[in-house]
């Protein structure tokens, strides 16, 4: 396993108004599944850096506590909650805790997701149900209990984390199906809740290097992944977090129902020419 070394930059001194001043956010999966910075951790840190109060929800609370330590070291405001977002009771409790602690809810980053490889022939029924619950049902349940509070606040921003795997085949059929469902969910939620001032958008991360993928990476594969997209550089969780920050902020006030690939141009140019590297690699 290659260790993930993505060190958070020091918090810059802001010589302008924080972009999320006065706002309250929930980030689900706000920990990281291994050492380093995952998408949820980076997003929560950036939200707090820009003035939001952040509820850090994770099934494994110790992981969220590591994120909390990063935020507190920068002088931000956050707290943790143990919640399994596949469980309706936990999602209701999560939204209620946010109101109890911070008095309102403006932003929900539905970041939780897991990956599974395999075809429809290979996947077990139990694995199929599990991945759909973690990647899709979690968004439905977290949003179900968050939206009434956002309506009470006069509107809000929901960011659903899909994947470029939801836009093109990826040798992991359950994951692709679940991430495509996240896109459908986003479009429908944007229509349903837009009239209440709630914007729902979706980020489709590309081949970013995070603790989620690190266990199956070596330096060669990281190089191939980085070379696959036109920018020829490796993406990090901060790239995803910065996109979420924009969609959460009022700068995106007229953006609703979009799918934003953050992938160095990989989807725009697929299929890429990695066959010329002399090996059959499905990225």
Ligand X SMILES: NC(=O)c1ccc[n+]([C@@H]2O[C@H](COP(=O)([O-])OP(=O)(O)OC[C@H]3O[C@@H](n4cnc5c(N)ncnc54)[C@H](O)[C@@H]3O)[C@@H](O)[C@H]2O)c1
Query: Which regions of 91-138 does DSSP assign to beta strands (E)?
Result: 107-110
Nearest distance in Å: CB 22, ligand X:
26
Nearest distance in Å: CB 42, ligand X:
8
> How many CA atoms are closer than 13 Å to the CA of 141, on its beta-carbon side?
21
Buried b (16+ CB within 10 A) or exposed e, 232-259: eebbbbbbbbebbbbbbbeebeeebeeb
Q: Which residue of the chain is nearest ligand X when measured via CB? A: 113
- CA distance to 169, 204, 278, per residue, from 275 (Å): 16, 24, 6
CA quadruple 266, 267, 270, 275: dihedral sign: positive
Q: Does 80 bind ligand X (CB under 6 A)?
A: no
Q: How far apart are CA 149 and CA 181, in angstroms?
A: 25
Among the candidate windows 69-77, 188-196, 211-219, 246-254, which touches ligand X by CB under 6 A?
211-219
Residues contacting 155, CB < 8 A, separation 6+: 106, 196, 197, 198, 199
Nearest distance in Å: CB 214, ligand X:
9
21 versus 62: smaller Cβ distance to ligand X: 62
Q: Does 239 bind ligand X (CB under 6 A)?
A: no
207 versus 260: smaller Cβ distance to ligand X: 207
Neighbours of 66 (CB within 10 A): 17
Q: Does 167 bind ligand X (CB under 6 A)?
A: no
Which 27-46 residues touch ligand X, going by CB under 6 A? 28-29, 31-33, 38-40
Nearest distance in Å: CB 118, ligand X:
16
Neighbours of 16 (CB within 10 A): 5
Q: Is 274 a catalytic residue?
A: no
80 versus 153: smaller Cβ distance to ligand X: 80
Q: Exposure of 92 by Cβ count < 10 A (0-12 exposed, 13-18 middle, 19+ buried)?
A: middle
Among the candidate windows 11-19, 48-56, 207-215, 226-234, which touches ligand X by CB under 6 A?
207-215
Which residue from 45, 80, 86, 201 is in contact with ligand X, where contact means CB under 6 A? 86
Q: Does 205 bind ligand X (CB under 6 A)?
A: yes
Q: Does 150 bind ligand X (CB under 6 A)?
A: no
63 touches 31 (CB < 8 A): yes
Nearest distance in Å: CB 256, ligand X:
21
List, by residue number, the catalytic residues.
Answer: 175
Which stretches of the chain bind ligand X, using CB under 6 A?
Answer: 28-29, 31-33, 38-40, 58-60, 63, 83-86, 111-113, 134, 138, 161, 163, 205, 207-208, 210-213, 237
């Amino acid at each position: 396993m290659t260790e993930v070394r993505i060190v958070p930059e020091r918090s810059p001194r802001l010589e302008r108004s924080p972009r999320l001043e006065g706002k309250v956010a929930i980030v689900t999966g706000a920990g990281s599944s291994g050492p380093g910075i995952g998408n949820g951790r980076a997003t929560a840190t950036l939200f707090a850096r820009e003035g939001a109060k952040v509820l850090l929800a994770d099934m494994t609370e110790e992981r969220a506590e590591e994120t909390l330590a990063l935020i507190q070291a920068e002088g931000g405001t956050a707290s943790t909650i143990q919640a399994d977002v596949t469980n309706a009771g936990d999602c209701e409790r999560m939204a209620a805790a946010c109101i109890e602690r911070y008095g309102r809810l403006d932003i929900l980053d539905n970041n939780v997701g897991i990956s599974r490889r395999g075809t429809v022939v290979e996947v077990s029924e139990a694995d199929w149900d599990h991945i759909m619950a973690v990647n899709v049902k979690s968004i439905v349940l977290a949003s179900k209990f968050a939206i009434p509070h956002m309506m009470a606040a006069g509107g809000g921003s929901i960011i659903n984390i899909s994947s470029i795997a939801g836009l093109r085949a990826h040798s992991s059929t359950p994951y692709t199906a679940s991430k495509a469902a996240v896109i459908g969910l986003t479009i429908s939620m944007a229509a349903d809740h837009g009239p209440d001032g709630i914007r729902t958008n979706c980020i489709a991360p590309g081949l970013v290097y995070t603790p989620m993928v690190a266990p199956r990476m070596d330096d060669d594969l990281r190089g191939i992944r980085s070379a696959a997209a036109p920018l020829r550089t490796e993406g990090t969780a901060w790239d995803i977090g910065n996109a979420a920050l924009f969609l959460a902020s009022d700068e995106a006030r007229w953006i609703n129902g979009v799918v934003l690939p953050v992938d160095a141009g990989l989807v725009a140019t697929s299929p890429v020419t990695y066959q010329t590297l002399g090996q059959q690699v499905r990225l």
